[in-house]
Every structure is written in C-alpha cells, then in structure tokens.
A = this chain, B = another copy of it.
Amino acid sequence: MEPKFLALEQEKQDRILNAAMKEFAQNGYKNTSTNNIVKQAGISKGLLFHYFTNKRELYLTLYDYFVELFLKEMQQKVDWEDKDIFSRHRQIAALKIKLFHQYEHIFNFLNAAMSENSREVKSELDSRKEKFINHNYREMLQDIDKSKFKEGLDVSKIIEIISWSMEGFAYKQQAKFKGLSINEMDLEETLQELDGYIEVLKYSFYK
C-alpha cells in the first residue's frame, strides 16, 4: 500500500477502499470507471491518482491488501494446532464469514479477481495467484492428520476433493445470497449447512 495513502485518516482510507472494491467487484476491472469510484468515495479525481498513480496500481494494491489481510487473519485466528482437516476448513469458513461482516465486498472482489480477464492486470494477477496458492494456501492443508483417513485411499486426492467440495459449497452459497444485503443473509444457517456436508465427507473418508 502506498505510504501516502496510509497517512490518510482511517475513515477516508476505508471510504476509498470500499468504493473501489465494490465497483471492481460489481463491474470487473475494465468496466469500472474511476469516475464512479471517486464519486462514491467523495473525493476528487486528482486525489485518487495522487495516491495510486493509475487504475492498475489501485486494483493491484487493493488485491494485495485484501489477500494479505485474509492471510494474516488466517495465521492469527485459525488454531493451527488442530490437525483435523474438517475442523480446519470449518474454522476458515467461520473466518471468512467474519471478514465478510467487516468488508461486505471482499470475497466478491477477490473471486472476481480470480477470473478477471482484462489484459492490463491479468498476467500480474496470475503470478500473484500462483504465489498465493503455492506458498500460502496449499501448505495450510498439508500438515494435517492423515492417520484419520480410511486405509487404501489416495490421501492427496482426498484432500483435493475436500477442498473442491468446500469451494463448491461456498460458490453455491454466494449464488444464493446474490443481490441480498448482508442483513438478509442467515450466516448462522450457512455454517450449519456446511456441517451437513462435512458430516457426509467425514463419514465417507474417515475411518
């Protein structure tokens, strides 16, 4: 994050961050107009470019900031001593829900970034995604207790299948919540539904 920007009062920072995040999440990179961002953030055109040199920098900075925020929270809030894969996934899900309460558009933005196709940011984004997945995300699921799985199963495949299931579930929830304001979403129920899937997976893969 640009140091100039960080010197700003917190409230103004958040106004800009949220405005940009929301616009990028809803419209994608190219279709987001810096005009709309500044209008929504209540700042002048010039100021945005004073802090972020250009639109690309703004987008990438935003991406980095929230990826890092997510990872930092993971490090701090997840109990890494607990080696049970399902327990870990469940903690991550709970964490996501908490973050979602803080930054309503964070996952819409991050997911949109995952499938962002605009020339201007695609390659840079791809390399960061790779780094993110290889260095951070993957290891989170490596030091788990593999002794709990049934014999005769390819454990690494099982781990992948569980991840895919978690992602599939998250995606399904997002589709269900599309268009709703955060108050209208019953996130408690979501966790309970998740437990249903975890139960099935546990029953099938665990001894």
Contacts and interface: CB of A to CB of B under 8 A. Distances in A.
Interface in A134-188: 150, 152-154, 157-158, 160-161, 163-165, 167-169, 172
Interface stretch (A8-16, A24-32, A65-73, A91-99): A24-32
Copies of this chain held together in the complex: 4
Contacts of A74: none
Contacts of A28: 28, 30, 116-118
A27 B117 contact: yes
Contacts of A161: 161, 165, 168, 197, 200-201
A152 B196 contact: no
Contacts of A164: 164-165, 167-169
A119 B31 contact: yes
A204 interface: yes
A5 interface: no
A133 B30 CA distance: 28
A23 to B, nearest CB: 10
B200 A157 contact: yes
Contact of A115 (B112, B118, B158, B205): B112
Contacts of A200: 153-154, 157-158, 161
A163 to B, nearest CB: 7
A168 B167 CA distance: 8
Contacts of A150: 204
Contacts of A30: 28, 30-31, 118
Interface of A: 25-31, 111-112, 115-120, 150, 152-154, 157-158, 160-161, 163-165, 167-169, 172, 196-197, 200-201, 203-205
- Complex A-B, nearest 9 residue pairs according to Cβ-Cβ distance, in ascending order: A164-B168, A28-B117, A115-B115, A204-B204, A30-B30, A30-B31, A31-B118, A157-B200, A161-B165
